[in-house]
Amino acid sequence: MAIVYDRLLKLDLPERDLRYDERDTMLYALSVGMATDPMDTEDLAFVVENGAFAGKLKALPSQATVIAWDDVFGPASGLNMLMVVHGEQRITLHKPLPSHGRIKSKTRFVDAFDKGAGKGAVVLVENLIRDAETGDKLVTLLSTIFARGDGGFGEPTRPTPAAPPAPHKLPDRAPDFSLAAQTQPNQALFYRLCGDRNPLHADPYFAKAAGFPRPILHGLCTYGHAVRAVVKTACKHDPALVEHIEARFTAPVFPGETIVTEIWQDGAVVSFRAKLAERGVTALDNGLVRLRK
């Protein structure tokens, strides 16, 4: 059954009060490939909280996607969640992400674009994360999802024409940086502990039923690998420089494959994409990181 546009946008989901701690921050960094060399002191600042690193623990900006992880909005939305695919992910950091804290998270549906009956719909979902102590905005997440099983509800009347966000165009030149990282065969089993327990990433039987020969890596884990590469190269290990991130998901990754992140830097604008060395396909495309000026 197609989604009902007006009901979707008027859906009032409750604000949630959450906490994340230094253990969560270290687990996330390890789950997206940080500190594979235990003697790399720059990387260790993301995974060690005591000794010489006491009080200096850093959080990767892409960790914002898991600190308020929530997939319970699906049943309330009326979307056919079995047919939903994550298309794009945007992160706007209103201030650098702390290594721990108490937060409030509010999810809402921003818009939906009908591709026609039997052709699905593009749905924009926003998650505003605030500092629970001060009320200040911390992060705004904007997810673009392709609801393949929905559509046919008709384009709504809007005060001005609208369309899904346009993808960032990559530079037409050789990358300024390229960083390869081989994922571990059990990478998805670590990453799922950050929040997303979808059996597609852990259960071989479920993955086979979904048409895959084995469980696939979470798209946001691939996303985290690419952001880690940008932080290590263009940001020289300073995550506080990152103000905005966006990228499109274009192909699944199998745990054990090598993610090669290609990076272009033009001042405060950093472009990136992630390719798979073994298959030569692009897993993330149209990547953009805007740095604080």
| Active site residues per annotation | 196, 201, 216, 219
Please choose, from the candidates 28, 92, 36, 33, the residue with its C-alpha nearest in 3D space to the C-alpha of residue 60.
Answer: 28
Cα–Cα distance between 22 and 193 in angstroms, integer?
14
Cα–Cα distance between 233 and 237 in angstroms, integer?
7
Cα–Cα distance between 133 and 103 in angstroms, integer?
8
Name the burial class of residue 9, with classes exposed (0-12), middle (13-18) and buried (19+) by CB atoms within 10 angstroms of its CB: middle
Phi/psi at 193 (nearest 5 deg)? -70, -10
Query: What's the distance, Cα to Cα, between the start and end of the chain in Å?
Result: 47
Please choose, from the candidates 127, 123, 129, 31, the residue with its C-alpha nearest in 3D space to the C-alpha of residue 86.
Answer: 123
